[in-house]
Chain A
Amino acid sequence: MDHQESGQGGFSRRSVLAGGAGLLGGLLLPWVPGARAEEYAPIGTFPAGSSGSSVFVGIGVPRTGTYAAPGEDELRGMMLAIEHINGGNELIRKISPNTTKGVLGKEVKYGVADTQAKPNTAVQAQSRFISENKAVLITGSVSSAVAVALNKLAEREKVIYLPGISGSNDTTGKDCVRYSFRECFYAQTAAAALAPTLIKSLGKNKKVAYLVPDYTYGHTVHQSMMEYLKKGGWTTATSQVAPLGTADYSSYLLNIANSGADVFVNINFGNDAVQSVKQAKQFGILQKQTLVIAYASPFLAKEVGPELTAGVYTPTDFWWTLEDRYPLAKMFVAEFEKKYGYKPEWSANAGYMQLAMWAEAVERAKTFYPPAVIKAYEAGQKVDSTVGEVYFRAADHQLVRPVIVMRGKKPSEMKTSDDYWDVLEVLPGAPLMQAPDAFGCKLGSYT
C-alpha cells in the first residue's frame, strides 16, 4: 500500500516537471494535508512514512545485557516525550513552541526493539522499522558501537537518527554523518569539564590507573582523560582494557592494585561500572586510590550504595537536583516521577530531550522531508532545555550543552534517598568542545 502511494507521488511530481500539469498533480493526491510533500523528491522513507495521519519512530535500546538499566531509563524518557508530543503537553511546548498536538499534526507511533547493545542486532531491528514501518526517525543507543553503526545505516537509508547515550568522540567525530544528531555530552567535553576539578582538588603530578572498556567509547574517553590530566602533570600508571560485559574484574583489579597509582579512573559504564566498583572495594583499592568515574553511569550510586560513591567525582549530562536551577528540569523530573515512580537519570533526560528537539526541528521545517529537517537542525536555533539554552553545531551535529560536574554525597549528607550527588559546577558547553573538524568529522550529502 505504502509503495503505491510513494509511486504515485513520484509520478505526479514528474508530471509537474513535464509542465502544465500542476493541477493534475494536485488532483491525484488531493488528500495529502498541505500537499507540501509534492515539492520534494522522494528520499528515504519520505513521503511514504508521513503521508498518513501518523508517523512512526523506530526505537532500539538495550533491554538485556550489561547496558539494560540505562537502556530502559532512556526508553522511558523517549516514551514520555512521545506521550507529551501527542498530547501537546506544556513541557514539550516550552521546548518546541510550534507544537500543538503530534508532529505537524500527525500522531507519533513507535516500535521498540531490544538491541542488546550489539551493533548487528541494532542495525537489523532499525532496518526492519525503516522497511516495514517506514520510520521517519530511528533512535536509541547506550553503546557508541551501536551509535556509530546506526549513523552509517541512517546515512545510507536517508532516515534521521538520534543516538541517545553515546560517549565516544567518534559519533560526531570521525564517524559523524549528515543524518545523525547527538544530544549528550561525550569523551572530549567530559574530560575537559572534569580534569580541572580533579587537578584542583586532588593536586598535581598524580599517577592514574585506568580501567577501560574495549571499544570506541572506552578508548576515546581514555584518550581525552589522559590528554587533559597531563596538564596537571598527571601520568598513567596503568591502563587496563577489559571487554564489554566482563563479570569478574579480579585480574584487572590486581594489576591496578599493584600499579602504585594514586587515582583510579574507571571508564566502565552500566553494569560493568557497578561490578568493577564493587569488586575494587573488595580488593581494597578504594581505600588506597581515589575513585573517579570518567563518564557518569546512570544508577551507579543506587546500585553500589552511597558509601562507595561518597567523594567520587564524575561529569554528567543531567542530575535531577538541577530542578533547583532550571524550570524545565523541574517540570521534567515531576512528570517523569509521576509516570514511573522514580527520579529520572541522565539517560531518561537524553531520550526525552532529543525527541523534543526533533519535534521542534520538524515543526520549524514544516515538513518531514529529511534534508529540510536537517537544515532546520543546522540553523543554530537556540532551544530551551532541561539544562538551559542549547543548540546544535551545524558542522558536526553535536549539541552545544553544559556539562555538569558532580561529587558523591556521604550517606549522612543525603537529604532524601535519591540525593546521591552534589552538583559542583555547571560548565557551558562551547568552551569544552574541540574544533568541529578536530576529530575528523566530514558530514555527507543531504540527498
Chain B
Amino acid sequence: MLNWPNLVSQFFNGLALGAVLALISSGLTIIYGTLGVLNLAHGAMFMLGGYAGYVVWAATGSFLLAVLGGSIFVGVVGLFIELVVIRRFYGRPPEDQILVTFGIGIVIVELVRLAFGSLSVTVPTPPILSGVMHLGFLFYPTYRIAVLVIAVLALGVLYIILYRTRLGLIVRAGIEDSGMVSILGINVYRVFLLVFGIGAMAAGFAGIIHAPVVAPTPDVGATILVETFVVVVIGGIGSFPGAVLGGLISGEILSLTSAIDPAYSEVMLFVVMTLVLMLRPEGLLGVRGRA
C-alpha cells in the first residue's frame, strides 16, 4: 500500500531485515574471503543455532543462556568441521569445496530432523521484549527492534575483531594475499580454523537471535542461504563492509518493493543482483584479486 505511514514502516522494516541479513552474510563472507571456501553449510549453521538455543532455553528457561549456548555450540561445531573436513579441501578445486560443504549442510539438516521432527520449535520472545512499540504513526514489534540493535552491536564486535586486532590484521592480509601471509611465517591454518569458527558462530548467533521471529524448522537455513548469497554478491564476495552494505540494500529492496506490490519483492532483489553482476562483477565493495 502506497501511503506515507506504510512507506516509512517498510523503510524501517528494511533496516531490521537488512541488519539480520548483514550479520548472517558477514560470517559467510569472512570465511570465503580468508579461506577461499564458499561454505554452503552456512544456512545449516544458522538453523543449528536456532535449535541449539532452543535446547538450552528448554532446559534453563533463560533466553540469555540460550543465545550464549546456541552460538558457542555452533562455533564449536564449526571448529570441528574445519579440523575434520574443510582442512583437507583447501588445495582442492572449488567444485569439491562446494560439494563437500553442501553435503555437510544436508547431514546437519537431516540429523536435526531426525532428532526434532519436521514441526517447528518455539523459542518464545523474552517477556521484557514482547509487545508492540508505537513510534509516532509507526508501530513495530519490540523484539524486532531489539534484534536490529543486537545485530548492529554484533556487527560492531565483528568490526573490532577484524579491524582492531592482530587476528583481524592477519585475516584481512589473508584476504588480499594468503600466500604472502604464510611466507611471512604466520601459521595460516590456525587462523583459518579460528575464522571458520567465528564465521559459524556468527551464523549460529543470528540463528538463535532470529528464532523468536521465525520459528526454527530443519529447513529454515535453506531460504536464508539463498538470500545470504544475494547479499554477498551485491556487497562484494569476501568483503565485510560489503556484507553490511549488501544486507542493508537487500533488506530495503525486499521491504520497499513490498509497499508497492509484495509479489515483486524477490524479483526485484534478483534484478538488482543481476545488475550488480553486469556492471560491477566483483560486487559494490568487492576485493578484485580474490573474488
Chain A residues close to B by CB (< 8 Å): 63-66, 68-69, 71-72, 214, 238, 240-243, 245-248, 250-252, 254-255, 257-259, 271, 274-275, 278-279, 282-284, 299, 302-303, 305
Contact = CB atoms under 8 A, between A and B. Distances in A.
A68 B144 CA distance: 27
B1 A258 contact: yes
A65 B219 contact: yes
Nearest to A214: B263
A73 to B, nearest CB: 10
Nearest to B141: A282
B255 A251 contact: yes
A65 B213 CA distance: 18
A303 B120 contact: yes
A63 B113 CA distance: 10
A214 B223 CA distance: 16
Given A64-B219, A238-B1, A303-B120, A252 B214 contact: no
Given A66-B219, A241-B262, A250 B144 contact: yes
25 contacts: A63-B118, A65-B219, A65-B222, A241-B262, A247-B223, A248-B17, A248-B213, A251-B10, A251-B13, A251-B259, A252-B258, A254-B258, A255-B10, A255-B258, A258-B9, A259-B1, A274-B120, A275-B214, A275-B215, A278-B215, A282-B144, A282-B213, A283-B139, A299-B119, A303-B215
Contact of B119 (A69, A238, A254): A69
A414 B153 CA distance: 44
B53 to A, nearest CB: 16
A143 to B, nearest CB: 14
Interface size class of B (residues with CB under 8 A): 35 or more
Contacts of B224: 247
A247 B215 CA distance: 9
B119 to A, nearest CB: 5
Interface of B is mostly: helix
Given A64-B109, A282-B213, A303-B215, 13 more contacts: A65-B222, A68-B118, A68-B217, A238-B1, A241-B262, A247-B220, A247-B224, A251-B254, A251-B255, A255-B6, A283-B132, A284-B139, A303-B119
Interface string B210-240: 0001110111101110000000000000000
Contacts of A302: 119
A254 B120 contact: no
Contacts of A274: 120, 215
Nearest to A251: B258
Contacts of A279: 213-214
A141 B93 CA distance: 39
B221 to A, nearest CB: 10
Contacts of A252: 258, 262
A417 to B, nearest CB: 15
B8 to A, nearest CB: 10
Contacts of A240: 262
A408 B120 CA distance: 20
Nearest to A240: B262
Contact of A250 (B17, B113, B118, B217): B17
A197 B1 CA distance: 30
Contacts of B109: 64
Contacts of A68: 118, 217-219
